[in-house]
Structure 1
Amino acid sequence: MQVKVSKFGGSSLCDSGQFQKVKDIVLSDDMRCYIVPSAPGKRSKSDYKITDLLYLCHEHVEKSLPFDELFKLIEERYISLCSELKLSINMLEYLKILKKKIIDGASEDYVASRGEYLNALMLAEYLGYEFVDAAELIVFTKDGRLDEKATYAAIEIRLSKVKKAVIPGFYGASGDGKIRTFSRGGSDITGAIIAKGVGAVVYENWTDVSGFLMADPSIVNNPKPIKEVTYKELRELSYMGAHVFHEEAVFPVKNEGIPINIKNTNKPEEKGTFILNDKIEVKSGNITGIAGKKDFTVIAIEKTLMDKDIGYCRRVLTVLESNCVAFEHMPSGIDSISLVIDDSELENKTDKILEEIEKQCNPDSIIVHPNMALIAVVGEGMIKTRGVSARVFSSLEKDNINIRMINQGSSEMSIIVGVENEDFESAIRAVYKAFEN
């Protein structure tokens, strides 16, 4: 029998009304056999995510601060959900155990994971599915890395006996039984691992948006939805700030050729976005999406005959490495290189880095340009297509936006453009307008 794995995010399970939508979706398709829930998310902008509250509880205990009021918010949410959904689970007892564990100094990973654990218990009863603890399936090494061999062996053994199951996302356990978590948003990863483990025909990721959009809707009014995106395109867009899906969740399903379908719990009739190895049809000259981030600094270095000075770039990059600073891009000329660095990497290290470059590389000049934004124009339809770059640059020129940097890799799948921070939103709107038809 062909099966689907369906992961539901926190917004899809934030209250009893959303639980009902999830139940309708799951039971409408008999192929939806393995369900992976996140912890309850926000019900409104002013609300709290359960996982955030759990982290705060742990932090308060670590600092010997009272956490009763915080825990009361968690209790109220789960107890009201159980009551409204008419579940038989003794949630008070589970919460009592959790509170004692927190007081007794349970690990941060254990405490944070209980949001998914309790939500999965409720969803399993609500759907009439078996609950399977992720600690039985997702195996971590002692140093916190996923043990793939042990994980997929455990999935094969345990889930071969279970036709319909709810498996909490976000966490697993090491060989000694200690709970370990993925990074935030890690329920996406759990779902992908389960999808690979059971050989799913599709991995559905249900959230509060209908897939990816061609641009950020907070910048561009009503941007077009993206029907299909390849894994490579997704990597480029995610890297530049387009976040709907945890990018690490791509890897388990990519090599298996399992498509990911990002869908909207509130609009299940919409097709959403499919993430695929290869698109069914690539239209020449089309772009897939536009994404970007603000707050980069450029360190521009000039040195006569740099191209003849063997090891010059290595010496520059060694300075960054010794200061634990990563760079985003490094456009270069015959006698110049520019280091594009995220401001969050630099913090208060700029002066020290400049001093060390002066000392170790002896440049003719070194100039710092702050306040740059990067915009990525991404799409496999750009490859070997004339005129795409010209359309990007012309659109910016028409809106009087100065281009500070241009970078295009050999794959031709993305064009990176640097503009002033203050021009960021205008630049994205200008490029979108040039490609929306």
Structure 2
Amino acid sequence: MKVIKFGGSSLASAEQLKKVLDIVKSDPERRFVVVSAPGKRNPEDTKVTDALIKYYRSYTADNDVTDNQNLIINRYKAIIEELGLSASILDRIAASITDLATLPIEGNDFLYDTFLAAGEDNNAKLIAAYFHKNGLPARYIHPGQAGIIVSSEPGNARILPSSYDKLEELRDSDEVLVIPGFFGVTVDGQICTFSRGGSDISGSIVAAGVKADLYENFTDVDGIFAAHPGVVHKPHSIKELTYREMRELAYAGFSVLHDEALIPAYRGQIPLVIKNTNNPSHPGTSIVLEHRKQAIPVVGIAGDDNFVSINISKYLMNREVGFGRKVLQVLEELNIRWEHIPTGIDDMSIILRDRELTPIKEQEILTQLTRNLGVDEIEIERDLSIIMVVGENMKNQIGVTTTATKALSDRNINLEMISQGSSEVSIMFVIKTNQEKAAVRALYKAFFDTDKAQ
């Protein structure tokens, strides 16, 4: 039994939906279909989710929303007419879109989520109708009815553990169930979305809940590449990754799969495969608990920017009991999340996402660390990138760090920091952002011995 999820680019047009139908019909084990909202048909097009955001802003600003409504409805109308579906489906979707502008604004913490979720919800209705018309016994099912009950955290919903018992009951369905991704329902019946890109999370939750044998995530690429194809020319695709390797790569900028989507499938021990809607015969990339064959030391290289570092120095820091806790408490009180903490005996660096450090918070940190903790020096370093060299088999291979640092040195790339966790799944290098692409190319060439990095 398989759960299959389609991303927005796979569902952007009638032509794409015909491919989706063929994929689902080709395998009777594909019994659960999780869908995103329609994506872009071309680079100049607008995603339905983005159109819904504009609609929400117009509505809450008390502007006329007719154009917003028509733009969204016409996206569905074009697909419905080309597929020859009943006009009643369009009427149902149009009513759902226009009814959004009747919802209360004041005191409605879930209004934005309700607007955004309409993209996936209405697309699922359309797709279920299309499947049914073409011989598949398919049925749309709302996440609330399916049992996807979530915490009351708008824009950052978390699945409640009790949901999995309800989801497991869906196993007995004889129909292909089409479930909108990206959102769940709170205990109080409110629409609440996962973080952006959360249809991947929905697919993973459903796969874990129904105890699927496989979770297939269909997108617009042939799996996952060993480096970003926008940086390295034609990098090779990865046949197999472990969940831990994928988590490291997703964290450092691999956007094929939402990193939070790994958690439910990982905990449910569900194998996952990334496949291409436009090339479904390609094997794609499998994500597994453990490598099924001998793996190469490095499976991928990723880079991500927009990091800052708070560099702290204090003489005899290592002898001061509780110093690290006090520093982190300052960040906690300011609601700041940290990413990495490389340390020395008298030095401590705290690496953050740039978005965490507003000017007001930055000034408060400087004040508290100098006045209350008596640090000798403190510096905020900006324009940093993180490069991750990832591979679970690195721990069994001598010289990986030497190969990496030599490759960077040969390209005159200065290392700000190096860090490696005890699991040895990855090596992290912190460098200046203006050297990020050169660093990824140098590391790719060093580990994969190819001219493609030139």
TM-score, scaled relative to structure 2: 0.91
Q: Please tell me whether residue 336 in structure 1 is matched to residue 358 in structure 2.
A: no
Give, in angstroms, the shift of residue 274 of structure 1.
0.7
Answer with 114-123 or 95-104: which moved more. Answer: 95-104
> What is the rounded CA distance, in whole Å, between the counterparts of 1:372 and 1:171 in structure 2?
33
1:154-193 equivalent positions in 2, closer than 5 A:
154-193=166-205
Is the Cα contact below 8 Å between 1:241 and 1:291 reproduced in 2? yes
Q: 1:137 corresponds to which residue?
A: 146
* AA partner of residue 308 (structure 2): T
How is 1:321-400 mapped onto 2 (pairs within 5 angstroms)?
321-348=332-359, 349-400=361-412
Equivalence for 2:281? 269
Over 3 Å counting, the alpha-carbon distance change for 1:354 and 1:193 in structure 2 is same
Q: Deviations over 1:114-167 (max 9, x none)?
A: 222221122112222222222201332562455545423332334523332222
Q: Quick check: 2:23–2:280 contact (8 Å CA) kept in 1? A: yes
Query: CA offset at residue 220 of structure 1?
Result: 0.7
Amino acid at match of 2:268: E
Q: Please say which of residues 215-224 and 181-190 is displaced more in the overlay.
A: 181-190
Shift of 1:380: 0.5
Amino acid corresponding to residue 79 of structure 2 in structure 1? L
Q: Give the Cα separation in 2 of the matches to 1:304 and 1:426.
A: 36
* Alignment partners' CA distance in 2, 1:397 and 1:149: 48
Q: Kindly tell me: are residues 187 and 138 of structure 1, through their superposed partners in 2, closer, same or farther at Cα, counting changes over 3 Å? A: farther
User: Structure 1 residue 153 and structure 2 residue 157: aligned?
Assistant: no
Residue 298 of structure 1 pairs with residue 309 of structure 2: yes
Comparing 298-307 and 209-218, the one that deviates more: 298-307
Mark the CA change 1:79 to 1:411 in structure 2 (over 3 Å): closer, same or farther. Answer: same
Task: Check 1:256–1:317 CA distance in 2 against 1; reply closer, same or farther (3 A cut).
Answer: closer
Maintained 8 Å contact 1:136/1:172 = no
Q: CA deviation at 1:89?
A: 4.6
3-state SS of the aligned residue for 1:425?
Answer: helix
**Alpha carbons 2:11, 2:39 under 8 Å: kept:** yes
| Deviation per residue, 1:48-67 (Å, 9 max, x gap) | 11112122212211110111
Identity fraction in percent: 39
CA distance in 2, matches of 1:365, 1:155: 54
Deviation at 1:280, TM superposition (A): 0.8
Over aligned residues, Cα RMSD in angstroms?
1.9
Deviations 1:357-391 (A, max 9, x none): 11122223223332221111111011142100000
Are the counterparts in 1 of residues 305 and 385 from structure 2 also a CA contact under 8 Å?
yes
Distance 1:99 1:224, change over 3 A: closer
Counterpart for residue 117 of structure 1: 121
Q: TM-score, normalised by structure 1?
A: 0.94
For 1:429 and 1:184, the matched residues in 2 are separated by 29
| Structure 2 counterpart SS, 1:318 | helix
The separation in 1 between residues aligned to 2:339 and 2:91, in whole angstroms, is 50
Consecutive aligned runs of 4 or more in structure 1 exceeding 6 Å deviation: none
Tell me whether 72-81 or 362-371 shows the greater mean CA deviation. Answer: 362-371
Q: Which residue of 2 aligns with 1:420?
A: 432
Unaligned runs of 5+ in 1: none
Q: Assess, with a 3 A threshold, how the Cα gap between structure 1 residues 104 and 392 changes in structure 2: closer, same or farther.
A: same
Letter in 1 for 2:323: Y
Matching residue of 2:107: none
Deviations 1:61-81 (A, max 9, x none): 111011111211111111111
| Post-superposition offset of 1:413 | 1.2
Counterpart of 1:306, as a letter, is M
Number of residue pairs aligned between Structure 1 and Structure 2: 434
CA drift of 1:38 comes to: 0.9
- Cα distance between partner residues in 2 of 1:59 and 1:162: 41
Q: Check the 8 A contact 1:140/1:180 in 2, yes or no.
A: no
Q: Separation in 1 of the partners of 2:192 and 2:437? A: 39
1:229 to 241, 245, 259: 241
Distance 2:338 2:42 in 1: 37
Q: 1:352 to 1:258 in 2, by over 3 A?
A: same
Residue 273 of structure 1, CA deviation: 0.7
Aligned-residue offset at 1:326: 2.2
